[in-house]
Amino acid sequence: MAAATTPYDDRDGFIWYDGKLVPWRDAKVHVLTHALHYASSVFEGERSYAGKIFKLTEHTERLVKGADTMGFKIPFSVAQIEEACRETCRANGIVDGYVRPVAWRGSEMMGVSAQHNTIHLAVATWSWPAYFSPEFRNKGIRLTMAEWRRPAPDTAPAGTKAAGLYMICTLSKHSAENKGFHDALMLDYRGFIAEATGENVFLVIDGKLHTPLAECILNGITRQTVMGLARKRGIEVVERHIKPEEMANATELFLTGTAAEVTAVGSIDAYNFTVGNVTQTLRDDYERLVGKAPVAA
């Protein structure tokens, strides 16, 4: 992860902005941009491994679909967006790194209604190693329960990576970090386990892999990938409503996401877990699949 002393607005390199590469520091928006005030923005998080962006088409199609859900159309095709991602990686010399496409409403109209605002698209890429420190690979990170809950699917577009949905994630992660934890586990509006602040969650109970139904959460591409890897291993995957007290029955628990990849969890408040065989196997399978370089023990 980039050092905190390196601001994201003051770097060398290029950002793809509305159809062309521009110097990194010149990629700017106006203070009255609609997306800043009303969260009319969607984005993706992608990783490049050994020069290839993992599941680029799936991410790009989700970006376009998310924009449609938000009521605007990105003025570039899936193929054009994919090439923009690859072009930006090449321009910045990114072989192993992070890719961030983002689309948003511009500044022509300021108000809740902004039907005629220009839709912009940008792609940024940067080097970004482990999301959580590698020292926790074999002991797991520490989580606490979040105060905020994921909203019902009829109150927010839960299936999109829309900027506004991450407001409670930032609040929850900041609160967790201020208490000495790495992240927070969020419940949904009914009190069932939902997800962490930017990752899906899996529990190992009696040798089976349990994960929340994708109702109030983002059905992550890494989540879907790991579920497929588990089934190939003959591990039964159970998607269901999971009560928080069921964590007492789980021997292992891990998170999945583009940034987090497969991250073991050692504890969530009073619940403790081991970095067991299922977690290690699926983590290794995922890393082999994406072409990630072996991690030293």
Catalytic site positions = 161
| Measured distance CA(149)–CA(253) in Å, rounded | 20
| Dihedral of alpha carbons 3, 221, 181, 148, sign | positive
| Measured distance CA(245)–CA(137) in Å, rounded | 25
φ, ψ of residue 266 to 5 degrees: the values are -90, -30
